[in-house]
Structure formats: structure tokens, C-alpha cells
Amino acid sequence: MRPLSEPRVKRPLNELEREDPLRTFAELGRALGRALKPSGRPVVCVQGLGFVGAAMAAAVAHAHDSEGRPHFDVVGVDLPTREGRAKVDALNNGRAPMATNDEDLARAIADAHRRGNLLATIDVRAFALASVTVVNVPLDVVFEEDVPTVSYDHLREAIRTLGLHMPAGALVIVETTVPPGTCERVAAPELAQALAERGLPADAVMLAHSPERVMPGDSYLDSVVNFWRTYAGHTEEAGEACHDFLSKVVNVEDYPLTRLQSTLASETSKVLENSYRATTIAFMEEWGRFAEAVGIDLFEVIGAIRRRPTHSNMRQPGFGVGGYCITKDPLLAQISARELFGRGDLAFPFSTQAVAVNSAMPLVSLRRAEALLDGVLQDKTILLMGVSYREDVGDTRHSPAETFVRQAHAAGATVLCHDPLVAEWPELDLPVLKELPPPDGVDLVVFAVPHRDYAALDFSAWLNGSRPAVLDANDVLSPAQRQFIRERGCKIGAIGRGFREE
């Protein structure tokens, strides 16, 4: 079992920390070129401006009382990297730092920018202003000799930074999805050690956990504000402070908060939730193969089953599972058991198998693609429609498209990639077309992501006489679109739909 807390050597101060401390939100605004008047509002910092943190910053800045007055001044803080500076610049110009179709999110950020209650910076001195800091830093799962583990280095450094800067009486809320036990056995000791270096007691800054609720897409902001939220404090006082804060951000009248007895329970709630979802997705894969083999439309079958309230959230087969959560979170329980609690004897076969099945899902689509091309991928040109991990969001992290493209290239195929929301694909360093290319010279079109652009695609105008094979790998196309493609003489296949439907 790894050591949970290691002695820290005091690191040298960076250039920003050598400067005089910031005293007010308005002072930070002036440093960023904004002439802001003191508001008297409490300051909330959001640490980490990725897909979760940026949305949370917007939601907190958007939070207001019954007369429309903002509850908080908000500072988003990111690392002094190229990516971090780009996110900071976007927010400081009233723009979302990620591609999104959610007009409410874009409007909330623009409105907060105009009001002057949302700033972003790489200056860690901003944490000294915070009555609350919400932590949204990544915690990646890596494999060491085929055994999953996590590196706490970035999280430790993030928590340590807060302990070195936040004022006494402030609250830290960890939203990052972590192995259960992380707040109690990693974050709390790290925070206490940093506070001790300032001569402050371990409880000078409170600690709580509340798993993030962000769902990127066309309801991005809504998923933060209008959704049930779970939380717990490391202490009774921290739990009460967390409740008070969340009650001002979340629509608790319609979506009441649920307080759990410990941060361990709160952490477990998110890991179990995502493990359950991953397992039910993996379960549907075998039924997709059955439907394709016997010639039925599994989506029609699932639609009938979903009419039962007890089965309304039944999953369905598709192109693959991606994103930062479901691809890794089912592994966090076994990491917790082994590394934080010394219980290597606890096994999680369903969760482990779910991750394995879901990671292989894109290869099912590749095999269907090969079949539509008469068993030959060599020298074929495939147009992949969608490379983000889910619809209406420009996030390629752990996208199933990455597996599909890598294996298609290995088989000798050329893959052209299109996505209306992805400007670059850093994981593969491949160009992504934002304008829809003509299908001339394309052997197969694979619809992988149900972006709204594809649902509205006019096939008559786009095909313009071309007859590529088409694979609907993720229930992207409507029955009318599939019917038109068939009538145009194109060979067509679909994941989860049998040959009778084709």
C-alpha cells in the first residue's frame, strides 16, 4: 500500500507569489484590465477550468437572489500553461473556453463578464480572496503492470496551494471524482500540513466533497443548476458551510440536496453511480450483436421496454463509451480498496469487465465497416462523422473514435474526420474537418456521434449522386434518412439493427 502522506519540502515561491498579496476582487480586476467597483460579495474561486470547472464557474457567477442580484464574485484559476492561459483568456473575454451548443451557458458567461463578477487568472494569489474554492483538477487512472492506479501528485499540489493561500474560515469543496477515501486520507492531511506551515490549525480551512454534476452538451449549464446534488463535510461545520453554498447555486426548491454522513460516502456515491452506468452500457453490447444476427431493430425493442417506469433509463448499444468519467471511474473502487484501505482482497469483476467491454466497442463498428466494404479495409477511404466522445460537445478525451481510427489506419484504411465542434484532436494530432466534405471518393461513411448537425443533414443535396456505403454506428440517423440512403442505392448497416432493417 502506498504511503498516504509524505513529508513536504517547502518549494520556492514563484514570481506571482513574491508579489504583494491581493486584497480585493476589484484589485484583481484592475490587474486584468477591468475597472470594477467593490461589490462586497463573497468571492468563490474555481480551481481548474476544464469542461467541469468552466461550467461550474459560470453557474456560480450566474447564481442570484430573488431580485436578480448575484450572490458571488467568481474567479476561475488555471495553470500557467498554454491551455490554461487560453481558458483564462476566453473567460476574460466573455466566452466559454470550450466548444458548446448550450446557448444558456454562453449567455451566462457573457452576462457575468458584462456584470463584472466573473474573472479568470493564472495567479494563485487569487485564492487568498476566496471564502469558497471549488476543486476541479483532473485525476487520471494509469496502469502499472496492468494494475490500475492513480497519481495524487496534481491533486496534492492543488490542495497544498489552497492551504498556503486561503483565509482561515474558508471552505474547500472537492468536486473531482476520486477513489473513495481520498478527502479523508489524502486531501485533509495535505491541507493540514500546508496550514501548519502558516502557523494555522488543521481545521482553519474547512473541507467538503460534492461530486460534480456537469453533463456537457446542449444542457450544460442546466446540468449544474437544475439537478440533484449530494455532498458531505469532513467536519460537521464543513458540511453546513457546503450546504449553504450549494443552496445558493443549485435550484434546491426543485432539486433538494442530499447530505451524506461522510466524505467517504459522498465519494462512493459518484464512483458507484458511474460504475453502474458503465456496467449497464456494457450489458447491452451482447444484445446488440444478437439483434444484428437475427434481424431485429434493438432500438425499437428498447423503446418498448422503456415505457415501463422501472426501465426508463435502459441503455442501448452504440459506437463506444468515451469521456473522462465512465471510461475510468469503475476502476476507482478497487484502487481505493487496495491503496487507501489495504484491502487488496476485494475484487470488482463487474466493474472491471465493464471497462474492458466498453473500451472494445469501437472495434465492433470497425468489423461492421469491414463487412460493408466486402471484407477489405486496405486502401479504402472512410469518412468518420464525429470524433468527440458524445453529442453536441467538443471533447475528444478518451473518445471511442480514437480506437476506431488507430485500428482502421493499422488495417490500411484512410480516415477523414469531421466534427462540427472539434477544432483540434490533440490525442491523435490529426486534422479535423469542420466543414462537411463531399462524399466523392469516399468508400464508407461512419456516423459515430449524434451531433444535431447530422440529424439535420440533407442527404439528397449532400450525396449528389455519390453512393458510399453508410454505417450508422450510434443511432444517429432517423428512419427517414436511412430509408433515403437505401433508396439511393447505398449499402447501409447499423449497430444494434439487423440485416432485415438494412
DSSP states of 321-389 as a string?
--SSSTTTGGGHHHHIIIIIS--TT---HHHHHHHHHHHHHHHHHHHHHHHHTTT--TT-EEEEE--SS
What is the assigned CATH class of domain 26-260? Answer: alpha beta
Say if residues 287 and 298 touch (Cβ distance below 8 Å). Answer: yes
Mean pLDDT, the chain, integer: 93
pLDDT tier, 71 (very low <50, low <70, confident <90, very high otherwise) = very high
Mean per-residue pLDDT, 177-182: 98
Percent of the chain exceeding pLDDT 70 equals 95
Mean predicted confidence (pLDDT) in 272-289? 95
Distance of CA 69 to the CA centre of its chain: 30
Residue 18: pLDDT over 80: no
Reported as a single tens digit per residue, the pLDDT across 358-410 is 999 999 999 999 999 999 999 999 999 999 998 888 889 889 999 999 999 99
Query: Poorest-confidence range of 197-201, 419-423, 439-443?
Result: 419-423
pLDDT band at 15; cut points 50, 70, 90: very low
21, exposed or middle or buried, with CB in 10 Å at 0-12, 13-18, 19+? exposed
pLDDT of residue 17: 47
Give pLDDT, residue 63: 97
Mean pLDDT, to the nearest integer, of 431-439? 92
Residue 231's pLDDT is 98
Residues 75, 289: Cα–Cα separation, whole Å: 49
pLDDT tier at 19, thresholds 50, 70, 90: low
Residue 5 pLDDT: 43
Residues, the chain, total?
A: 502
List the Cα angle 242/329/83 in 5-degree steps. 75
- Domain 279-494 in CATH 3.40.50.720: yes
Report residue 498's pLDDT band, with 50, 70 and 90 as the boundaries: confident
pLDDT on residue 159:
98
What are the residues whose beta carbons fall under 8 Å from the beta carbon of 136, sequence distance 6 or more? Answer: 46, 47, 48, 49, 50, 52, 53, 56, 175, 176, 212
Whether pLDDT at 502 is above 80: no
- Residues 210-235: what's their mean pLDDT? 92
- What is the per-residue pLDDT across 20-33, written as a single tens digit (0 to 9) for each? 789 999 999 999 99
> What was the pLDDT predicted at 479?
93
Residues of the chain within CATH 3.40.50.720 domain(s) are 26-260, 279-494
Q: Which helix (H) or strand (E) holds 89?
A: helix 82-92
**pLDDT exceeds 50 at position 322:** yes
pLDDT tens figures, 143-162: 998 899 999 999 999 999 99
Residue 397 has phi, psi (to 5 degrees) of: -65, 125
In this prediction, residues 104-124 reach a mean pLDDT of 97
**Type of residue found at 352:** T
**In terms of DSSP bridges, do strands 206-209 and 229-233 run parallel, antiparallel, or are they unpaired?**
antiparallel
pLDDT for 204-220, tens place per residue? 999 999 999 888 878 89
Helix (H) or strand (E) holding 415: strand 414-418
pLDDT for residue 499 = 59
pLDDT at residue 415 is higher than 50: yes
- Phi, psi angles (nearest 5°) of residue 381: -110, 120
Is residue 173's pLDDT more than 70? yes
Instruction: Name which of 14-23, 253-262, 339-348 the model is least confident about.
Output: 14-23
Buried b (16+ CB within 10 A) or exposed e, 419-451: bbbbeebeebebebbeeeeebeebbbbbbbbbb
